[in-house]
Amino acid sequence: MRYRPLGRTGLTVSMLGYGASPLGGVFGRIDERAGIEAVRVTLELGVNIIDVSPYYGATTAETVLGRALRGVDRASYVLATKVGRYGEAAFDFSAARTVRSVEESLARLGTDHLDLVQCHDIEFGDLDRIIGETLPALARLRDAGKIRFIGVTGYPLAALRRVAAAVPLDTVLSYCRYTLLDRALATAEPEFTARGTAVLNASPLAMGLLSRRGAPDWHPAPPELRRAATAVADLCARRGVDIARVALGFAAAPTRFATTFVGSADAANMARNVRWALSEPDPDLLDDIEKLLTPVRDLAWPSGRPENTPIGEA
């Protein structure tokens, strides 16, 4: 495993992080014992940063993760969770709910402190309230020793930029924004880094677009992006390579990102993901993929309140 600094926090994290949403059954029912094994194997392979949220599986992911981490040296991993999103359309960024959410997460995860707490999917909230109420509430919890660092997450980079410009942040996390399909996060990275904010990348397979199975029905990608992703999957299959291997190796490579999160509730899948993240995609194949994707590169979809994603600034 390779390791990188987490911005200016003083922490060092693995280039591949464990995204714990599958522990909540987000992608289908899981066997809890298998999920616990997946976490343990992932840690044994050198992954040392874990990202979860009370939203994933309506607190199930945090509960299962807490069980998986019992008996594991607390100093051996960086634990991140979130506040603000609690259901598909259930958002509450109030200070009172933020404090209560952190307390609940501490109990579910079986720990006395959280290394990183992030405001979850901020584009669905009132950014002024997040700046003026949610983040100050987290700062008070940090001062009390219950959390160590503070960040925000979201899909539209415009929302992340606005909050990061207004409040000192330790991290920003975006998903699907640095993949074979979309490189926008790399363009925004220097702005965050200049402020001392670490950039976290998530969903290197673009929520299933870059997989042999293809995107689920609920995926928000426009038809032309789906078609392009299918064409890339077909190209990789003709070359005898799993598209997910290419996509993961590509997304995890840039050292400008502290880590790239990927998750599975299956230990063998996570071991494979670690191997793939450490592999280098064939440059000739990448060139051919680039040609296929040129017409749709960086094509984003709407997410959150319209005022948080101005046209042309996704």
* 3-class DSSP state of 76: helix
CA neighbours closer than 13 Å in the CB half-sphere of residue 162: 20
Tokens of 307: 């005022």
3, 18, 55, 56: the catalytic one is: 56
Q: SS in 3 state form for 215-253?
A: CCCCCCCCHHHHHHHHHHHHHHHHCCCCHHHHHHHHHHC
DSSP secondary structure letters along 174-202:
EESSSSSS--HHHHHHHHHHHTT-EEEEE
* Helix (H) or strand (E) segment spanning residue 282: none
175 is catalytic: no
CA dihedral 51, 57, 60, 66 (to 10 degrees): 0
CB atoms within 10 A of CB 94: 15
Residues forming a β-bridge with 87: 90
Backbone angles phi, psi at 251, to 5 degrees: -70, -30
Q: Which amino acid is at 42?
A: T
The contacts of residue 100 (CB under 8 Å, 6+ apart) are none
Of the candidates 134, 124, 139, 50, the residue with the CA atom closest to the CA atom of residue 91: 124
Residues designated as active site? 56
